[in-house]
Amino acid sequence: MRTAEVKRKTAETDIEIRVNLDGDAAKSVIDSGIGFLDHMLTLLSRHAAIEMTVLCKGDTEVDDHHSTEDIGIALGKAMQEALGDKKGIRRYASIALPMDEELVLCALDISGRGGLYYDVPFLTEKIGTFDTELVEEFMHAFAQNAGFTLHLQKLAGHNSHHISEAAFKGLGRALRQAISEDPREADRIPSTKGVL
């Protein structure tokens, strides 16, 4: 079963993450302490078809940075653990995801080499009280700790809320495809090197 549980406790955050890659996303429980991030993580769970529990108590009285980054770290580690040796997965996926007038490209390689390649400019500094720069912080922490090569690029748009939605939905849809099992490769690691 492709599941994992990660706990992360620092002086700034106390986080518990559980993922079930083959579970029911409708059963996900998301409580980050940050309303907008809850919305984005719910979209990610639903579009990836991954059942997630994300619980965080963080120093949001300071700002949302520590909680957002640390959730990205813990969720990335949980994804890496749940994927195990990665036998039988499709590995690659990409999508140009529209969200009304926005269009965001997401390309993903479950490579074992974490890296974010990000070109998603926002025209505002905030979405409500949430700093738009934290979208990149989350994506960087997630990709680095999951060991994923992740490209995100805004192709069109100007509404910050919709841009963020397109990025998280795009990541969800790409994840859904990349972690899906390929019956033709069931016992093989999808690399000529034999390891990811």
Can you give the CATH number for the domain in which 120 is found? 3.30.230.40
Query: What are the tens digits of pLDDT across the range 7-20?
Result: 999 999 999 999 99
Percentage of residues of the chain with pLDDT beyond 70: 100
What range defines the domain where residue 131 resides? 3-185
Residues 51-109 have pLDDT tens digits of 999 999 999 999 999 999 999 999 999 999 999 999 999 999 999 999 999 999 999 99
Is residue 192's pLDDT more than 90?
no
Whole-number pLDDT of residue 194: 82
Q: Is 37 helix (H, G, I), strand (E, B) or coil?
A: helix
Distance CA 78, CA 52 (A): 10
The answer to the question of residue 191 being in a domain is no
Domain annotation covers residue 120 = yes
The answer to whether residue 132 sits within a structural domain is yes
Name the residue among 80, 136, 68 with its Cα closest to residue 104. 136
Average pLDDT, the chain: 97
- Measured distance CA(44)–CA(32) in Å, rounded: 14
pLDDT greater than 90 at residue 195:
no
- Whole-prediction pTM value? 0.97
Q: Check pLDDT > 90 for residue 143.
A: yes
Phi/psi-derived region of residue 55, left when phi > 0, alpha when psi is between -120 and 50, beta in every other case: beta
* Residue 23 lies inside a defined structural domain of this protein: yes
Residue from 77, 69, 58 nearest 17 by CA: 77
pLDDT score of 101: 96
Give the model's pLDDT for residue 84: 96
Task: Name the one residue in this structure whose structure tokens are 């994923």.
Answer: 148
Give the count of domains, the chain.
Answer: 1
- Rounded to 10 deg, the angle between the 160-178 and 133-146 helix axes is 10
Q: What pLDDT does residue 165 have?
A: 98
Reply yes or no on whether the pLDDT at 50 is more than 90. Answer: yes
